[in-house]
Every structure is written in structure tokens, then in C-alpha cells.
Structure 1
Amino acid sequence: MDNIYIEYTFEVTPKEPATEILIAELGSVGFESFVENDNGVVAYIQQQDWNENLLDDIYIINSEEFYISYNYKEIAQENWNKEWEKNFTPIRVDDKVSIRAPFHDNPGLPYDIVIEPKMSFGTGHHETTHMMVQHLLALDVEGRKVLDMGCGTGILAIFAEMKGAKPIDAIDIDNWCYLNSIENVERNNCEHISVYEGDASLLVNKKYDVIIANINRNILLSDIKTYVSCLNEKGVLLLSGFYEQDIPIIDEEARIYDLTIDTVIKRNNWVAVKYLK
């Protein structure tokens, strides 16, 4: 049976910067996917994560600086993908990486990633995915063993293989993400990616040169210890899924395990941090 999602359609006036702030706040309460349009944004959350008071603490909705109205409805995964196709626009990262659907033309950039998310997080539209792609662009992963934890669509694992990484493990606790990652791995003709359904308990006795974890603050805080135990000496840990103001609490936990910050990328209050072991 398909999971049920709740689709919220927000009309935002003025659109900027309110839309970016709204997306950031919605992400913090469990919304998984976002599609911007001319009027604002459409956002999706699993029904199991939804409650009628979900938006009560979303500051920007109650701000007098902007006018934000919304409505919502239930939508099955199979129908969501049709909605996504109508709204999804191709993404470019630093004019080097294109992220697009199969029905978009190839823009001819050095790296071309083709995905259909089907409700899985990671289209490149969200700041965290965009920044993780930027980190990987700057990182030499040729021949290095990589883990994409909380892989969503599989986009970061796919990009890592395009940059020469192998072998690569991609893990997500959500069955839909697991199945979707398998589809996208095949769609991009990847040969060195193994996709698994589960959580950090799958990492026992595993070792990696690079670990990518784009999840959320609380899971990261819980699992940093496990990630470090799986990192080879001089390994790289890329973390995202949290806000700039969360860096101190993430860094406090990371320092316990002798991780040091190397690079921080910021985008609309979201951050992606590169740690070195």
C-alpha cells in the first residue's frame, strides 16, 4: 500500500525572502519535499508525521511582515510524482552539475544526474542537497569508499560515483527512498553503488573514507559516534540537514570524537559542514 502524504500549497507575498524562510521552518517540523512556484511553494509531509497543530509554531506564517495563506489535501505517492513532473525545474550547481528529470534536456555540463524522486528527499532544490553537491565537487573521491547515509533519492551516492568513488553504500530507513534510490542508481548506469534499507545499525564493522549524512540534527547527534567508528584514518565526514545556529551543538558532539571542522558552506540559514578525522 502506498504511504499517504499531505500536500500543502502556500501562497506567499512578497515571495522573497519569505519562501526560503518558510521552507527552512517547514523542514524543521518534518516536511520532506518542496516545489517552488510563481506564487510560493508546495510542500509535502508524510501523514504519519502530520498533526493538525503542525504549523502553530511556524514563525513566518504568523509574521506581520508577510502574507502567507495555505490549504492542504491528502495525496498518494503515485499521484505525487505526477504533480512533481508538472512543477520540477532542472537544477544547476556551480555550472558544473545538472540535476534533472528524464524529460528535461541535457544541458551539457560536466556532470549530469537524472532522477525521479517519487517522494524521496533530495532533488537538489533543497539547500542541504545543493550544498552537499558543492562539497563533493571540491572533494577528491577517486577510488575512495563512500557511504551516503539517509540517501533519499540516491543523488549524492550517484554523484560520488560520477566523481570516481567506489565502492559506495547508500542507506535509508524509508522503504520508498530505498526503492527509489535503486531506480535512480540504475537510471544513471551506476555500477559501484549498493543500496540498503535500514539505519546506522547496518554500519557494524564497516569502514569508509568518506561518509555523507544529510539527515537532521537529532539523528546526526545520535549517530556521529557510529560514523566516526566507521571512518578510516584521515577520513572525511560531510554533515548537513541542520541550521547555522545548530553548528555549536553539532560541533560539541563532533569534538568528543576528535573531529575538526574543515569547511562550512551556508545557504539560506542551512549549513553543510566538512569534518576531518
Structure 2
Amino acid sequence: MALVYLEYDFKVNPLQPATDILIAELGEAGFESFVENDSGVLAYILKEEWNEGVLDDLFILEHPDFEITWTSKEIEQQNWNAEWEKNFHPITVGDRCMVRAPFHKSIDVEYDIVIEPKMSFGTGHHETTHMMLEHILENDFEGKSVLDMGCGTGVLAILAKKRGAGSVDAIDIDEWCFLNTLENVERNNCPEIQAFQGDSSLLKGKKYDVILANINRNILLEDIPIYALCLNSNGQLFLSGFYLDDLDAISSKCKANGLEFEKKLEKNRWISVKYVN
């Protein structure tokens, strides 16, 4: 039996940063996938997961600086790969790394990553993923044990491995992301990456030199104490998935758990931060 989805067509004016904030809030509300376009974003949620109050309490919809309208309709499961193929364009990060889909031509770069995104997050297009890729390019990963927490497509784990990381674990609570990571790990010839489905409870007794976590603010605040316990001496924690306004709260939680701020990157109010112990 085909899965039935609801498609919400949001018209957003001006587009940024409202579209990014809207996508982040919709993701927390249960929407599974998003396709950005020239007028806003298409958002998809399983009909069985929908409820009448699904858009209640979304901050961005009430913000006076943005005009956001929407319509919705019911659709049967469609060819998501075809949708991505129409809307997913290759990106380059620092002229050293290219993230592309299988249907894109490769170019001569140091790190060529092929991602079939399907309905998972993490193609490099969003500011948070892009900044995390920048961090990986700027730091030494040679021989280090790495965790990609909330791995989405597995793109961060894949670049870490290509940068010389030793063991790499990739974890996501979402089954679609877990399966997509398995596919992308194989596609990029990185069989050493171990993917797991679950949450931070899987980290009991684990130790890493580097932890990458591109997740939303609330989960990060809850899990930072666990990440701190999992870091080896002289470990590095890279976080993203939150706004500049959230930095004080994130840094305070890190400091309380023995982690010191070292560097931040910023794009369109989104930030990515490096902490060390």
C-alpha cells in the first residue's frame, strides 16, 4: 500500500532567513523532507503523522518581518529521487570538496563526495552542513576516531574518513537516514564507516577523538554532557544546527562539562562551533 503524504506549499517573502528557520521548525514538528524553490519551500509530512495543530506555535509564522502563506494537498508517495534530481545542485566547499549527486559530473577536486540524498538531511546546501564540512577541511583528522551524531546522509562521516580518520561511527535516530547513510558509505567506498540507528544512548562506554553533531539546539543541550564524557583527552567537539542567539546557552553547557570554546563559523545567523577539552 502506497504511503500517503501531505504536501505543504509555503510562499515566503523575503526568502531568507525565513525559509531556513521555517525548515528547521517544520523538521521538529514532524515534516520529513523539503524542496526549496524560488518562492519558498515544499514540505512533506506523512498523513498518519499529521494533526490539525501541526503548524501551531511555529515562531516564524507569527514573525512580523516575514509574510508566509501556504496551501496543502494530499499526495501519494512519489519518485523522491526524481524530485531531488530537479532541485539538487552540486556544491563545492573551499574549492577542495565537491558534494554532488550521482547524476552530476565530477570535477577535479581533492575530495569528491557522491550523495543520493533522498529524504535525508545533509547535502551540504544548508548553512549548518556546509560549515561542518568547512571545519573538517580545516582540522587534522588523520588516524582519529570520529563520531558523526545525527548523521543524516552520512556526508560528514564520509569527508572525515576521506580526510584520514581511523574509525568512524555514524548514528541517526531516523531509519531513513540510517539506511541512506549505509548507501552513501558504500557509494563513496568507505566501508570502514559503521552506521547505527539510535540516539545518544548508544554512546555508553564509547570514546572518540572527534565528535561531529549537527542537530537542533534542544537535543544538543541535552546531549552535550554525554558527548563530553565520550571525548578522549585533547578531544574536539564540533556543533551546529542552531542560531547565533543560541551560542551563549550552548557554550555555557559546554563549559559546565569541561569544554572550552575555540572557534565559530557563521552563515546567515546559523553558526557552527568548535570546542576542545
Q: TM-score, normalised by structure 1?
A: 0.89
Q: CA deviation at 1:2?
A: 7.6
| Matched letter for residue 25 of structure 2 | S
Q: Conserved in 2, the CA contact under 8 Å of 1:168 and 1:194?
A: yes
Secondary structure of the residue aligned to 1:171 is strand
> 1:1-277 counterparts in 2 under 5 A?
5-14=5-14, 18-30=15-27, 31=31, 33-45=33-45, 50-58=50-58, 61=61, 67-74=67-74, 79-277=79-277
Deviations for 1:203-245, whole angstroms, at most 9, x for unmatched residues? 1111100000111111111111111111000100011111111
Q: CA deviation at 1:22?
A: 2.2
Q: Structure 1: give runs of 5+ residues left out of the alignment.
A: none
The 1:111/1:141 distance shift into structure 2, 3 A limit, reads same
The 1:100/1:5 distance shift into structure 2, 3 A limit, reads farther
The 1:173/1:2 distance shift into structure 2, 3 A limit, reads farther
Q: CA deviation at 1:77?
A: 5.9
Secondary structure of the residue aligned to 2:112 is strand
Deviations for 1:120-175, whole angstroms, at most 9, x for unmatched residues? 11111111111110111111101100000111110100010111111100011111
Q: CA deviation at 1:90?
A: 1.1
In structure 2, distance between residues paired with 1:220 and 1:243: 12
Task: Give aligned-pair identity as a percent.
Answer: 56
In structure 2, distance between residues paired with 1:121 and 1:201: 22
Structure 1 residue runs of 4 or more that deviate by more than 4 Å after TM superposition: 1-5, 45-50, 56-67, 74-78
Secondary structure of the residue aligned to 2:132 is helix
In structure 1, distance between residues paired with 2:241 and 2:74: 26
Q: TM-score, normalised by structure 2?
A: 0.89
Q: Structure 2: give runs of 5+ residues left out of the alignment.
A: none
| Count of residue correspondences | 274
Q: CA deviation at 1:11?
A: 3.1
In structure 2, distance between residues paired with 1:185 and 1:223: 25
In structure 1, distance between residues paired with 2:256 and 2:232: 17
In structure 2, distance between residues paired with 1:35 and 1:121: 11
In structure 2, distance between residues paired with 1:159 and 1:4: 35
| Matched letter for residue 80 of structure 1 | W
- Give the stretch that moved more between structures: 56-65 or 169-178: 56-65
In structure 1, distance between residues paired with 2:263 and 2:76: 39
Q: Conserved in 2, the CA contact under 8 Å of 1:6 and 1:45?
A: yes
In structure 2, distance between residues paired with 1:184 and 1:122: 11
In structure 2, distance between residues paired with 1:117 and 1:248: 32
- Give the stretch that moved more between structures: 187-196 or 75-84: 75-84
Q: CA deviation at 1:187?
A: 0.3
Q: Conserved in 1, the CA contact under 8 Å of 2:7 and 2:43?
A: yes
The 1:23/1:109 distance shift into structure 2, 3 A limit, reads same
Root-mean-square deviation (Å): 2.3
Q: CA deviation at 1:44?
A: 3.7
In structure 2, distance between residues paired with 1:77 and 1:195: 26
The 1:66/1:230 distance shift into structure 2, 3 A limit, reads closer
In structure 2, distance between residues paired with 1:62 and 1:221: 25
Deviations for 1:236-261, whole angstroms, at most 9, x for unmatched residues? 00111111111111111111111111
| Matched letter for residue 41 of structure 2 | V
Q: Conserved in 2, the CA contact under 8 Å of 1:78 and 1:118?
A: no
In structure 1, distance between residues paired with 2:122 and 2:235: 24
In structure 1, distance between residues paired with 2:216 and 2:123: 17
